[in-house]
Amino acid sequence: MVRFASLLRCLRQVFVALALCVQVQATEMVYVPVNPAFGGNPLHGPNLLATAQAINNYKDSPRAGVSVGGSLSGQSALQQFNELLQRSILSRIATASASSVIGSDGKLIPGSLDTRDFKIEIVDLGGGLLQIKTTDKASGSSTSFQVSQ
């Protein structure tokens, strides 16, 4: 037992001596941003901008009939409503006013629907084609389009 204790003491002294001889050097890891917008070197700015412009595939092309605010310009209230109705029916979004003309299977049901300002008629043309006619009650003007079921 005495021998074991002296062996442990000797090993402890060796480890202490080794620990004192070994120098450990460590530094902090420091993040340095590249982008000048986040505190990086301002000289990186032109290079980053040139790279971004070189890989940009998007070409802005103004759409005819749409103003900067996104509203449809040059169209009457009837044309705007008809375009909205076309989008709703083609994408099968059943809104409260359109729920009576769309069946549970997502298909249009021939018939008519009256709103405060418009009358919407869905007529089965046969062969899977339906005609949707929208009439403005105030002016009497109408517009129509066809969809297939």
Task: Specify if 54 maps to a domain.
Answer: no
pTM beyond 0.85: the answer is: no
Encode pLDDT of 116-139 as tens digits.
Answer: 778 888 898 988 888 989 898 899
What is the count of structural domains for the chain? 1
pLDDT confidence tier of residue 141, bands split at 50, 70 and 90: very high
As a whole number, mean pLDDT of residues 42-68 equals 76
Q: Which residues contact 2 (CB under 8 A, 6 or more apart)?
A: none
Cα distances (Å, whole numbers) of residue 5 to 12, 17, 19, 125: 11, 18, 21, 104
Cβ(85)–Cβ(102) below 8 Å? no
Residue given tokens 């605010």 in the structure block = 69
Task: Specify if 38 maps to a domain.
Answer: no
Task: Specify if 105 maps to a domain.
Answer: yes
Task: Specify if 111 maps to a domain.
Answer: yes
Task: Specify if 24 maps to a domain.
Answer: no
Task: Specify if 104 maps to a domain.
Answer: yes
Q: Say yes or no to pLDDT of 101 above 80.
A: no
Q: Tell me, what DSSP letter sits at residue 35?
A: S
The residue range of the domain holding 142 is 77-148
